[in-house]
Structure 1
Amino acid sequence: MASDNDDDDIGFDISDDEIYVPVAQRRAALFNKQKTNTKGEPGPVAVSVTATAPASQSLPEEVKTQSSKTLLEEAQHVITEKAEQDSHKSDAQRREEEDADIVSAHAKQQRKLLSAGELAHGVSYSKRLETTWTPPHYIRQRSMEENVHVWRRNHIIVDGNELPPPVEEFEDMKLPNGILKYLYNKGIHSPTPIQMQGIPTAFSGRDMIGIAFTGSGKTLSFSLPLLMFALEEETKLSFGRGEGPVGMIVCPSRELARQTHDGLLQLSEALQDDGYPEIRSLLCIGGISMAEQNEVLQKGYHAIVATPGRLMDMLERGKVMLSSCKYLCLDEADRMIDMGFEEDVRTIMSYFKHQRQTLLFSATMPKKIQDFAWQSLVEPVVVNVGRAGAANSDVVQEVEYIEPEARMLYLLECLQKTPPPVLIFSDIKNDVDEIQEYLLLKGVEAVAIHGSKSQEEREYAIKSFKSGRKDVMVASGVASKGLDFSEIQHVINFTMPKEIEDYVHQIGRTGRSGNRGVATTFVNQNVQQQTLLDLKYLLREAKQKVPQFLKDIEDPFEGKPSGCPICGGLGHSAANCPKLEDVQRRIPRESDAGGY
């Protein structure tokens, strides 16, 4: 009776002439039958049934032996299916999917560009800042079709919501007469493409990502708005002792910070000459006198131009307060975000007390960095003049294959191509010193600058080179990011940079503000093939002559590169990006860039 009850319980009706099937096997069979009814396909049998009855007798249909797959077999089946699918994809499709996976994995390791406190408390801003500035009536009334025509005519790519209209004349930006006169005397009669869209965007209070080739006037695009915001606040209520700042500009190197600060001082002096109050700015970099900084601090100041290391030191000691600061610009932002300064920027942001307007500027900002910045800003406007990472078309690029031991002799020959001033770059500090010594022995007036030089030596080199007292400057990468030397005729890359971004920055020291320039680059067997491929495609893009030894390099992309989303190089994919490989090896502070 017990067995009958069990049979009834599981839904089987067993007669005497049928073979006996154990309860566990019948339950397994019923389970598989139910799965078949619900899913429309047979499920795996949980218990393998082995019939002990004579061959003439057969098991019920629902308990016939079914083959089951192990987890290992299932995994192998999935792998086989994926391999079959991949076999039908082109190489380009496979590279694209691989790059997407790498970028996705890299993006998961990054957090929004907010302070630690904002991230911990889930603070986010959804409403953009408002300002009192508006463009003239006739510009506000322009149709979108008219704005699109201006963008296309000036090769400006703009992305975002409720885009501010471009302004093609400085007079229409409602600038004070003193500023207009200053710009005219500097030979700046009309805004460049990045300025005609970038300045109105910043004036409107919008977060912004600004991308334009070197020498296109990016510095004025973020310095001028800061000056105008500071002037507005000073006019409302004069800044007293210890008050300020209204905004700050953070740069990756001391030299770039010094240059930006000097530009702000000149603009401020132009305003004073026109009868406006003084706008004071604080230079916050390593290697300068604290007495000089304290003098500005005591008067009250409107703007800070700083490198991350020294700024954090001043913030931690309470020398600088950001309670009234609402404007933050990161110059060379892709480097600071992606190459070691990201946590420094987060630390600086943690001292802000209110929502800020954030602007990121660079000549080379890969798509990955743009995507990262996009999610970190509030309704940002992306202003892109040309492809991010493209070389300046005003620079004639010449690439020469020179054996390492022959470079020094050939250097003298290269110096004969153009009159001075000339910039020579090398990634190796010892090479910088050796080149300077060699040129001095040959009677060439040369100075040298690199990260191991003292601040006094670095400033002397820059001043003497800018003033024309020295004909040649030999430099490491410290001088390649954003520094503006007037009338540079020729740039020589004694060593080819490993990353194509650095190459773009270095050759961008010439051919500025519409002038023509020459860039000569030495390459040899020590240069990695993927770097040479990047160089080949960059030359093609800029319609430059491609030497035969670059043409002969085996091309895995078959002439149709997709570009690396990590660094923007055209000759490799994310799978073998040199920038990604070096991320863990980079020193976050006090690198050769002199960030402290």
Structure 2
Amino acid sequence: MGDTADHAFDDDENYVPYVPVKQRRLEKMHKYATQRRTAEPTPDEQDDEETAVQARNNMSLLDQIVEQKKLNLIPEKTEEEKRIEEERQIEEAQARHKALVSVQEAATGTHYTEPIKTSWSPPAYIVEKGDERHDAIRQKFHIITEGDDLVPPLTNFSDMRLPRPILEYLDEKKILKPTPIQIQGLPVALSGRDMIGIAFTGSGKTLTFSLPLLMFALEAEIRLPIERGEGPIGMILCPSRELANQTHENLCNMAKALVDGGYPELRAVLCMGGIDMKLQDEAFQKGFHMVVATPGRLMDLLTKKKFNLDNCKYLCMDEADRMIDMGFEDDVRTIMSFFKSQRQTLLFSATMPKKIQDFALSALVQPLVVNVGRAGAASLDVIQEVEYVKQEAKMVYLLECLQKTPPPVLIFAENKNDVDDIHEYLLLKGVEGVAIHGGKTQDEREYAIKSFKAYKKDVLIATDVASKGLDFAAIQHVINYDMPKEIEDYVHRIGRTGRSGKTGVATTFINQHCSEQIRLDLKLLLREAKQRIPPFLAALEDPAEKSGLLGGCTFCGGLGHRINNCPKLEQQRRLQMNAIMGGHHESGGGGADF
């Protein structure tokens, strides 16, 4: 029976014997190899190729790379090329974390292509003067603009179509002519364009973004009045309580001037830590047009649905580079997710490195960059004096420095304990002073700022909470009790003097406790501002000059180092690792200063 079956299979012409999978693979590989050999031009070339392939198969990958370098198949990179390549990779990695868009927009792929339209337009006779005339004005005031469809600069407030009460208010405040950032920044903001504004500290940036918000709120109120539970029309974000309070006061003063001139009431709400929640709830219920806030408190209120951003079409971030930094990135991204439609976005700061601008540009719609001076440069109206003072001699030498100029004087220290020690020492020596830092209550901080601004106190001692954006009109002298860890903080500190065209003095104590990196940044900053460089800084060697890689750090703007050894970037990496490992996030610590 079995023999008969076998014989039947042998006679069947369609019978195909089973071929194991392994054998079929070998036959297929043999077929491909045969096809490749027949495609080769000559037997000699075939032998050479087979020899080379066999040799490569017997070599490790490292040996193959060495062999290719010997044959010049892989060009050898110079040290400069390697460093530039490394910097490019770091910048690209940072860019992936910095996109200033909401989670919803990122998830849905929403992308706006046209700027917001407003009813404002520059006067026709100004437009008719042509681009050459506009470029001449920008050149005269050292205004650098980047972007498409530039808005004409306006050198008079009367050309900006502002209401008469606002013009009278500006005259009363002795603000007779716009500053360079206002000449170009105000027309850009009023026309509805997204904007990055960069200018020296004390150059009038606050008016550049708060006045357009007031005008948009006024127009919205006239068209359709805000009712109970509605608002806001626009929002300004600030990194500290003191700056938010100052910006809110300016808005309220301008709104009052409008009411006195017969215009409708415009209400501004301040959202920050230390404010009575009941008062805030009353303001929300009444309906409001503008909000000035710190990120932590604003995020808390939005999450609790105390109000919404359904009608909010204007967002300004003061000291924007700080907001985009690691400590505020998540907060800002969360806040952005509450917007329901397109908004006009303005970013302002005195220290905004080029790469930070690029990160922000990814989220703005046809933005215009308005730059007055190099981002991160010190004000040329400040005389910078750097003195070597030993750690134990600082306190005594502080009294001598106070004799340089009449009061008021601002003293900066790095930590809270030093602020309290300096305050106590000066009180014992009979110097009228007040102190602020993140550890004090909101009432104490407000009392300190108000009494100092009212000239009731001669000296204000503070941490960096008072260095960003605060306007003290008459300060002639800033003393840095210690050098900050980042050159950006130094620029912000000394910018509290030499404001609005006046001259000021900044004295900085420095010693071996300061890192060589920050000393080198300071040396090159002094050189750029044509200030005297003391011998102990002049003796520092600049590695960038030796390597030929000039230009400074593209991340923080420091002139004395490159991005691959940026202390600020290293600090952010540590914070990121702490967050991953479950450590305390920096933004939580920063919240104390909100």
TM-score scaled by length of structure 2:
0.89
**382, 386, 403: which one pairs with 1:416?**
403
Partner residue of 2:231 out of 244, 252, 262: 244
| Deviation (angstroms), 1:80 | 7.1
Write the letter of the residue equivalent to 2:565.
Answer: N
Residue identity matched to 1:389: G
Q: Is 1:193 equivalent to 2:183 in the alignment?
A: no
Match for residue 351 of structure 1?
338
Structure 1 counterpart SS, 2:589: coil
Which residue number in structure 1 is paired with residue 138 of structure 2? 151
- 1:591 maps onto 2:589 in alignment: yes
> 1: distance between equivalents of 2:245 and 2:495?
19
Check whether the contact 1:45–1:68 (CA below 8 A) recurs between aligned residues.
no
Match for residue 284 of structure 2 among 282, 297, 303: 297
Say which SS state the counterpart of residue 315 (structure 2) adopts. strand
- Aligned match of 1:528: 515
5 Å matches for 1:454-473?
Answer: 454-473=441-460
Aligned partners of 1:285 and 1:307 also within 8 Å: yes
Q: Over aligned residue pairs, what C-alpha RMSD do you find?
A: 2.5
1:540 aligns with 2:527: yes
2:322 counterpart SS class:
helix
Paired residue for 2:88?
100
Unaligned stretches of 5+ in structure 1? 1-22, 49-64
User: What is aligned with 2:427?
Assistant: 440
Given the superposition, is the C-alpha separation of residues 237 and 397 from structure 1 closer, same or farther in structure 2, using an over 3 Å criterion? same
Partner of 2:64: 74
Secondary structure of the residue aligned to 2:120 is coil
**Pairs within 5 Å for 1:185-584:** 185-558=172-545, 561-584=550-573
Q: C-alpha separation between the residues in 2 aligned to 1:78 and 1:494?
A: 58
Question: Unaligned 5+ residue runs, structure 2?
Answer: 1-27, 576-584
3-state SS in 2 of match to 1:359: strand
Spell out the pairing of 1:21-170 with structure 2 (5 A cutoff). Answer: 31=36, 34=39, 43=49, 45=51, 69-77=59-67, 85=75, 89=78, 94-108=82-96, 110=97, 112-170=99-157
Q: Please state how far the C-alpha of 1:290 moved relative to its aligned partner.
A: 1.5
Aligned-residue offset at 1:98:
3.0
The one-letter amino acid of 1:97's match is E
CA–CA distance in structure 2, aligned partners of residues 583 and 156 of structure 1: 32
Structure 1 residues 81 and 546, CA gap change in structure 2 (3 angstroms): farther
User: Does the aligned pair in 1 maintain the 2:69–2:75 contact within 8 Å?
Assistant: no
**Post-superposition offset of 1:122:** 1.1
**CA spacing shift, 1:70–1:568, aligned 2, 3 Å:** same
* Per-residue deviation, residues 161-185 of structure 1 (Å, max 9, x unmatched): 1011111100000001110011111
Give the Å deviation of 1:94.
Answer: 4.7
Partner SS state of residue 400, structure 1: strand
For 1:488 and 1:208, the matched residues in 2 are separated by 30
Task: Tell me the equivalent position of 2:25.
Answer: none
- How many Å separate the matches in 1 of 2:268 and 2:71? 64
Distance change >3 Å, CA 237–CA 556, structure 1 → 2: same
CA distance in 2, matches of 1:82, 1:298: 75
Aligned residues of 2:56 and 2:64 also touching (Cα < 8 A): no
Q: Match of 1:392, as an amino acid?
A: S
1:313 is displaced (CA, Å) by 1.1
State the distance in 1 between where 2:588 and 2:455 align: 30
Identity across matched positions, percent: 59
Q: 1:565 to 1:303 in 2, by over 3 A?
A: same
User: In the TM superposition, what whole-angstrom CA distance separates every residue of 1:246-276 from its partner, at most 9, and x where no partner exists?
Assistant: 0000111111100000000011011111111
Match of 1:20 in 2: none
Q: Structure 1 pair 350/24, CA: closer, same or farther in 2 (3 Å)?
A: closer
SS of 1:389's partner is coil
Task: Supply the distance in 1 between the matched residues of 2:113 and 2:71 (Cα, whole angstroms).
Answer: 45
What are the Cα deviations for residues 6-38 of structure 1, in whole angstroms up to 9, with x where unaligned? Answer: xxxxxxxxxxxxxxxxx9999868746746779
The alpha carbon displacement at 1:293 in A equals: 1.3
For 1:59, the equivalent position in structure 2 comes to none
Residue aligning to 1:54: none
Following TM superposition, by how much is the alpha carbon of 1:229 offset from its aligned partner in structure 2, in angstroms? 0.1
Instruction: After superposition, give the CA deviation of every residue in 1:17-74 in whole Å (9 maximum; x if it has no partner).
Output: xxxxxx9999868746746779x995455985xxxxxxxxxxxxxxxx9986443323
Structure 1 residues 200 and 516: CA distance shift in structure 2, 3 A:
same
**Structure 1 CA distance for aligned equivalents of residues 311 and 228 of structure 2:** 14
- Do the aligned partners of 1:243 and 1:300 also contact (CA within 8 Å) in 2? yes
CA distance in 2, matches of 1:37, 1:334: 64
The 1-side partners of 2:437 and 2:527 are apart by: 32
- What is the letter of the counterpart of residue 587 of structure 2? R
Q: Secondary structure at the match of 2:491?
A: helix
Against the structure 1 CA distance between its residues 122 and 160, is the aligned structure 2 distance closer, same or farther, given a 3 Å change threshold? same
Contact 1:214 1:505 in 2 (8 A): yes
Q: SS of the residue aligned with 2:479? A: strand
**Distance change >3 Å, CA 354–CA 44, structure 1 → 2:** farther
Code of the residue aligned with 1:383 in structure 2: it is V
Partners in 2 of 1:590 and 1:486 — Cα distance? 32
Q: Assess if the C-alpha contact under 8 Å between 2:296 and 2:591 holds in 1.
A: no
CA pair 511-363 structure 1, distance change in 2 beyond 3 A: same
Distance of aligned partners of 1:235 and 1:43 in 2 relative to their CA distance in 1, 3 Å threshold = farther
TM-score scaled by structure 1? 0.88
What CA distance in whole angstroms lies between the structure 1 residues aligned with 2:156 and 2:590? Answer: 39
CA contact 2:437–2:593 (8 Å) conserved in 1: no
2:61 partner amino acid: L
What does the per-residue CA deviation read over 1:70-100, in whole Å, with 9 as the maximum and x for residues that have no partner?
A: 433234456778998556x4x6555433322
Distance of 2:35 and 2:93 partners within structure 1: 44
Is the 2:386–2:534 contact (alpha carbons within 8 Å) kept by the matching residues of 1? yes
Distance 2:73 2:108 in 1: 45
| Change beyond 3 A, Cα 1:36–1:396 | farther
Mapped to 2, the partners of 1:240 and 1:208 lie a distance apart of 30
CA contact (8 A) 2:315 2:344 kept: yes
Closer, same or farther in 2 for the Cα pair 1:219/1:45, shift >3 Å? Answer: same
User: How has the CA–CA distance of structure 1 residues 407 and 45 changed in structure 2, closer, same or farther, with 3 Å as cutoff?
Assistant: same
Q: What is the count of residue pairs matched by the alignment?
A: 555
Q: CA deviation at 1:142?
A: 2.3
Q: Which residue of 2 aligns with 1:15?
A: none
For residues 296 and 325 of structure 2, the distance between their equivalents in structure 1, rounded to whole angstroms, comes to 16
Give the letter for the 1:496 counterpart: M
Aligned residues of 1:477 and 1:593 also touching (Cα < 8 A): no
Q: Using the alignment, how far apart are the partners of 1:217 and 1:531 within structure 2?
A: 28
Check conservation: 2:268, 2:288, Cα contact below 8 A.
yes
Given that residues 363 and 505 in structure 1 are in contact (C-alpha distance below 8 angstroms), is that contact kept between their aligned partners in structure 2? Answer: yes
The structural deviation recorded for 1:591 is 2.9
Higher helix share: 2
d(CA) in 2 for partners of 1:132, 1:158? 23
